[in-house]
Structure 1
């Protein structure tokens, strides 16, 4: 499950690479974002309410639209606990991980609501079918400079699991893997492993 975001200008890229982290399972849903994390999702919905101002030293911003949709922007990959807390204030139980370069979280960490998480690798046709059925894919989507969370697809006591890594090229700030953990399924701490290693 992939989504792409248009690139930012060269000026936006200055100093970002050293602050970024890496690691992503190749079959997981990934959203990519440009190096300048702009609140384009907020601009698209002028009536959005800012829950966290994305100014000063804030690493992220969360805003809520009148329909309940959340727009999240990240300017750098730090303070995952703070992002979890802000999403919690907005009614989203989240588990956020920022990974070191060249690593990913060993899976499975939880029981997913969709068959696409933690199962054996599948071919392109079966992957398309899984994506079409996946509620995780509907609950979170990439947008211009941000990603959006659609709470109507998240059932009570489910956890939105987010794993972030470096976008690995000059055009992309970060990548994000996103899944929903079943209600009652605890999310185990991330055990990092080298990309291409066993268990992802």
Structure 2
């Protein structure tokens, strides 16, 4: 047996320095603890959790904090901060001064405006009801109303005028959410150019 082993080893050429270094590295790699591989979906879930934690953090204003503020950004977007549901006419006027024709309503908790106030530019207002989540997502993703107004934090929305055509009215409804972490909920749509927006008649929200 020993003679056979010696004969076998005699046929194997000696390892080069590079081969020895590679074998040493593979040995060390095998001794290290394996790191958990995070797949794409897990990364997305982690990012979603982090974003939710950020949005849910309370943003409490100090003494003298205005009920609302309107600021214009160099990229043309407009940021609206709403700290208190107070003076909707004043906020509407501020938006008008910034070039946005708007109709602003503040609602109490559990209320909504009666339907058919205006003719919407897309199916997010007055169109057929979506029966499945996928239909609702498709409807929202394809609408200019959703692109024109987006919630960016618990107290701010971003308005993108490039999605609002001349003569159209941005209709926004803020509803008291009775939660300091998420103080209000938003409904935002675009009304067709050349049409009027009826005053909001508050009614009970059935949902």
Task: Please report the TM-score for the alignment, with normalisation by the length of structure 1.
Answer: 0.70
CA shift, 1:57, in A, is 5.8
Instruction: Give the aligned partner of residue 107 of structure 1.
Output: 115
> Which sections of structure 1, spanning at least 5 residues, go unmatched?
10-34, 39-54
Q: CA RMSD in A?
A: 2.3
CA shift, 1:98, in A, is 0.7
Instruction: Give the aligned partner of residue 63 of structure 1.
Output: 71
> Greater Rg, structure 1 or structure 2?
2
Which 4+ runs in 1 deviate beyond 6 A? Answer: none
Instruction: Give the aligned partner of residue 95 of structure 2.
Output: 87
Residue-pair matches, total: 154
The partner residue of 2:200 within 178, 182, 190 is 190
CA shift, 1:119, in A, is 2.5
Whole-angstrom CA distance in 1 between matches of 2:151 and 2:191: 19
Q: Does 1:171 align with 2:181?
A: yes
Given that 2:168 and 2:193 are in contact with CA atoms closer than 8 Å, whether structure 1 keeps it comes out as: yes
Larger % of strand: which? 1
SS at match of 2:173: strand
The partner residue of 2:150 within 141, 145, 148 is 141
